[in-house]
Amino acid sequence: MHNILLTPGDGIGPEVMDATSRVLGWYQKNRKFEFQAEEALIGGTAFEKVGRSDPDDTIAKAKKADAILFGAVGGPQWDNLPFHQKPERGLLRLRKDLELFANLRPALCFDALKDASSLKPEIVSGLDILIVRELTGGVYFGEPKETTTLPDGQKRAVDTQVYTTSEIDRICRVAFDLARLRGKKLASAEKSNVMVTGVLWRQVVTEVAKDYPDVALTHILADNAAMQLVRNPKQFDVMVTDNLFGDVLSDEAAQLTGSIGMLPSASLGAKRADGKQWALYEPIHGSAPDIAGKGLANPIASILSLAMAFRYSFNRGEDALLLEKAVDTVLAEGFRTGDIMQKGMNQVGTAGMTDAILKALDKVAG
Ligand code: IPM
Ligand code: MG
């Protein structure tokens, strides 16, 4: 019996979470997937209901769950909240308190969508890269993080970029292990030309590489990585990078595939003493307030995040493949939500896309 915590959150979060729950129901009925699901508040929605975007109760429930399925947080109505109350704090606290240090962000171009990218189809067709982003360190959490007032009255804001050897070591090992299962190529992106954290990053990854002689390691400056991603993205297989560069580069990589609405992610913690591992799965798109509540959102990223949960938390690789195949099928059949709409295709909303995926699951499961 798997314990799943659902945190739908804000904007389109609840809609894509509903879609994902329907897929969970399909697995319960057809694949003997036994689970208990509970919901908890997070983000702006939590702030409205209980006065905090990161309720203690949600964190406690998350610690008891085998996997968290996360929707999205944020929205313009909360833009002016003080920094520590912003909806994003909910997500950041989950990452920190559950030590979800390894963020896996695949960017995979579905064949049916190679024309939906803003890049030429030959640049993106067959694209399959994995960005491994460090998620609990760096400038997101470094101290001091503060705004002070100088004697002359102007303000001074400080964020701190900080990494220790062990933080770099553990994320690099995750990346090397994954590279081993894929194309045996790892690119490490940092700014060792201007940042001491980059110098340390390069030293540690070079040291870890000695344990992985079968994986080809290259070092790349993060700005060059951003450029190479649009110039020739297929040169990459796995890329490992820090929290902030990973945030930026993964959005860029996502858009190569046609739509950020397509891409899932997994955030994994360290193995715990009881053999389990905390894990959170979320679509990498945000809360998309402009289309929230209209039934238009693309549920594929959230549904593919469930596929990642099957693979990394529930040890059900076959169920993950089934789901990925079902998504591939509906795209090949021409179903499109607005964000990936192309001429001559069949435009559907969130529910229509989910119906199509459930039907495709029946088909591919035989
Ligand atoms: C992401 C998001 C988050 C981040 C926000 C919502 C805090 O952009 O998961 O990439 O910056 O990490
Ligand atoms: Mg981001």
The pTM score is 0.95
Ligand 1 centroid, distance to 251 Cα (angstroms): 10
Q: In ligand 1, which atom is closest to the CA atom of 73?
A: 6
Residue 258 banded pLDDT, cuts 50, 70, 90: confident
* Model pLDDT, residue 248: 97
Residue 272 banded pLDDT, cuts 50, 70, 90: confident
How many whole angstroms separate alpha carbon 242 and alpha carbon 141?
12
Q: Which range is least confidently modeled, 58-67, 71-80, 258-267?
A: 258-267
* Closest CA to ligand 1's atom 7: 88
* Closest CA to ligand 1's atom 9: 284
Ligand 1 centroid, distance to 229 Cα (angstroms): 20
Region 162-167 average pLDDT: 98
For the cut 80, the answer to whether the pLDDT of residue 320 exceeds it is: yes
For the cut 80, the answer to whether the pLDDT of residue 234 exceeds it is: yes
Tens of pLDDT, residue by residue over 88-144, are 999 999 999 999 999 999 999 998 888 888 899 999 999 999 999 999 999 999 999
Q: In ligand 1, which atom is closest to the CA atom of 103?
A: 9
Residue 273 banded pLDDT, cuts 50, 70, 90: confident
* Model pLDDT, residue 83: 92
Task: Determine what percent of the chain is predicted with pLDDT higher than 70.
Answer: 100
* Model pLDDT, residue 109: 93
How many whole angstroms separate alpha carbon 185 and alpha carbon 235?
9
* Model pLDDT, residue 276: 83
* Model pLDDT, residue 72: 98
* Model pLDDT, residue 31: 97
CA angle 327, 41, 38 (to 5 degrees): 65
Q: What domains lie within the chain, and their CATH numbers? A: 1-101+263-366 (3.40.718.10), 128-256 (3.40.718.10)
* Closest CA to ligand 1's atom 12: 247
* Model pLDDT, residue 178: 97
Task: Determine what percent of the chain is predicted with pLDDT higher than 90.
Answer: 91
Report the residue among 70, 131, 241, 247 best suited for mutation to probe ligand 1: largest number of ligand atoms under 8 A from its CB. 247
Region 171-195 average pLDDT: 98
For the cut 90, the answer to whether the pLDDT of residue 186 exceeds it is: yes
Of 324, 325, 326, 353, which is closest to residue 337 (Cα–Cα)?
353
Question: For all residues of the chain together, what is the average pLDDT?
Answer: 96
Residue 185 φ then ψ, to 5°: -130, 130
Q: Is the peptide bond before 144 cis (omega within 30 degrees of 0)?
A: yes
Ligand 2 centroid, distance to 90 Cα (angstroms): 14
* Model pLDDT, residue 61: 97
Q: Locate the DSSP E strands across 45-176.
A: 67-72, 102-108, 128-134, 142-149, 155-160
Tens of pLDDT, residue by residue over 5-37, are 999 999 999 999 999 999 999 999 999 999 999
